[in-house]
Amino acid sequence: MTISFENRVAIVTGAGGGLGRAYALELAKRGAKVVVNDLGGSRDGTGHSDAALKVVDEIKAAGGEAMSNGASVTEYEQMVEMVAKAKEAWGGVHILINNAGILRDKSFTKMDPADFELVVKVHLIGSAFATKACWDTMREQNYGRILMTASSTGLFGNFGQANYGAAKLGLAGLTKTLYLEGAKNNIKVNTLSPVAATRMTEDIFPEQAFARFGPENVVPAALYLVSEDSPTNAIVGAGAGGFHCAYVTMNRGVFLPPEERTVEGFAAHWAEISDRKDDFVPQSGSEQSQVILAAMQKAGAVG
Ligand code: NAI
């Protein structure tokens, strides 16, 4: 079965190059009308260019429909304007891929607080702003598909990327609340953790691997996650043909009687507290309290 995006309007932020461009081209090829957003700056977020326009030209040359948008995702009013223009031209906004991003890598010891702030602002606040700008429209339409772009750095850590990692895990967190809030209006929200050869990774990948990690290899996961039958609240990893899921899990731990609720009691039980044998994936934050309540009941501490 072909997965089509006919009659869908999609916004892809940071789509002037790299992964975003690949998503925009494929969405348009499959029938979506695409807003190609990109500030067109350099990898560290300085400057701007007409990168978005070039991708729009490519889409149009291939027979697709697209409009360019050169706004920064960090400017909420400009995001609102972007959504208004898409609605005016095409009647709605069904898909948002939050993909724009920059890098300002340095060990935390050497990191300038301003570089911490800007990276969090572009990735996390920028994605929240673009999402907020689309949110009411998606609710009114009773249809929305939103993809956040996280990273293995956010999910698992990476030396020299404290700012980036904090923002990226924040995006997985944003997904986890928005999927709950959007559910009744058929808004599905997922997180993608890509690995791809782009200007962002050109000095990290070994030369041989670079060729195998083309952005096109991430496209199947990204597009499925914003398609009609997408899951919701998934964290998916993709790169070079590898596809997998990541989960935030918790175990059931222990329930300590009052006399053992001391620092020493905690220390004595650490092996059990950290044992992963009964790990599960909570579907919302309330499950943490439910686990505690269930343990209390079992211990006869309530009732
Ligand atoms: P890229 O640098 O080619 O793409 C990022 C795009 O975002 C650029 O075109 C840039 O101009 C645009 N952008 C930056 N700041 C913006 C702003 N304020 N407003 C609008 N657009 C802005 O890099 P790549 O690799 O394609 O990255 C895409 C996304 O994937 C990023 O969020 C990145 O963090 C994420 N990612 C990429 C990985 C990889 O292996 N390439 C790994 C993990 C995550």
Residue 11 sits at φ, ψ, to 5 deg, of: -110, 130
Q: Which atom of ligand 1 is nearest to the CA of 197?
A: 41
pLDDT at residue 210 in the model: 87
Half-sphere exposure of 61 (CA within 13 A, CB side): 7
CA torsion, ordered 236, 238, 241, 245, to nearest 10 deg: -30
What gap in Å lies between CA 160 and CA 192, rounded to an integer? Answer: 21
pLDDT, tens only, 235-262: 999 999 999 999 999 999 999 999 999 9
- 164 in catalytic set: yes
Alpha-carbon Rg for the chain in angstroms: 21
Q: 100 CA to middle of ligand 1, Å?
A: 4
The ipTM (two decimal places) reads 0.99
Place of tokens 């956040």: 148
In contact, 95 and 32? CB cutoff 8 Å: yes
Among 143, 164, 179, 224, the active-site one is 164
Q: What is the full per-residue pLDDT of the chain (303 aa) written as tens digits?
A: 899 999 999 999 999 999 999 999 999 999 999 999 999 999 999 999 999 999 999 999 999 999 999 999 999 999 999 999 999 999 999 999 999 999 999 999 999 999 999 999 999 999 999 999 999 999 999 999 999 999 999 999 999 999 999 999 999 999 999 999 999 999 999 999 999 999 999 888 888 888 899 999 999 999 999 999 999 999 999 999 999 999 999 999 999 999 999 999 999 999 999 999 999 999 999 999 999 999 999 998 765
**What are the chain's domains?**
9-246 (3.40.50.720), 258-298 (no CATH)
In contact, 17 and 38? CB cutoff 8 Å: yes
In contact, 31 and 115? CB cutoff 8 Å: no
The preferred substitution site among 42, 75, 99 for testing ligand 1, maximizing ligand atoms within 8 Å of CB, is 99
Tell me the pTM.
0.98
Place of tokens 């070079």: 240
